[in-house]
């Protein structure tokens, strides 16, 4: 199964989610990420955080959803509706869910405060991805309505 983490810029949240998902994924599950208006570069703080967490960072880059190597089975939007951010709508026959996370790229303050915003986004995504992999995935793959309900429920989890 292929999971697409989708946001606007594809520099922070969706990259954090893609790398974390791939780090934790069992055989047969792959994540990719993209943006509707990619920035063209991965935020250096995202890469530094992933490296500190022991997650490989090679090969990750900011890209458009027009450049996907595979067709996704599941699309997870990670934009923050609460911050008034418009979520891109992936067109295609896929299961869709929303896991809103504030964009740490917009964090302001001291270096420590900005790093804390990146860590908060990472922790939210990690908790949700771990909950995803705790599901009976083999069973749920044959029950898309139930899988969607579980993914929607996971989208509200916080660390």
Options 3, 4, 6, 7, the catalytic residue = 7
Residue 12 catalytic?
no
Percentages helix, strand, coil for the chain, rounded to the nearest 5? 45, 15, 45
Residue 79 catalytic?
yes
83 Ramachandran zone, left/alpha/beta (phi>0; psi -120 to 50): alpha
Options 1, 25, 68, 87, the catalytic residue = 87
CA distance 120 to 158: 10
The pair of three-digit structure tokens given for residue 52, joined into one six-digit string: 């500190």
Options 15, 19, 49, 79, the catalytic residue = 79
Q: CB-side exposure of 73: number of CA atoms within 13 Å?
A: 12
Residue 87 catalytic?
yes
Question: What residues are annotated to the active site?
Answer: 7, 79, 87
């Amino acid at each position: 199964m292929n999971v697409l983490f989708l946001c606007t810029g594809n520099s922070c949240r969706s990259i954090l989610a893609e790398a974390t998902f791939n780090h934790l994924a069992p055989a047969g599950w792959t994540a990719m990420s993209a943006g509707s208006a990619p920035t063209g570069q991965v935020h250096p703080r995202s890469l530094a955080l992933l490296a500190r967490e022991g997650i490989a960072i090679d090969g990750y880059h900011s890209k458009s959803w027009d450049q996907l190597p595979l067709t996704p089975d599941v699309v997870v939007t990670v934009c923050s509706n609460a911050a008034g951010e418009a979520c891109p709508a992936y067109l295609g026959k896929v299961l869709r869910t929303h896991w809103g996370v504030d964009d740490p790229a917009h964090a302001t303050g001291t270096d420590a405060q900005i790093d804390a915003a990146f860590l908060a986004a990472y922790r939210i995504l990690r908790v949700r991805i771990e909950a995803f992999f705790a599901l009976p995935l083999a069973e749920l793959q044959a029950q898309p309505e139930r899988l969607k309900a579980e993914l929607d429920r996971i989208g509200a989890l916080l660390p």
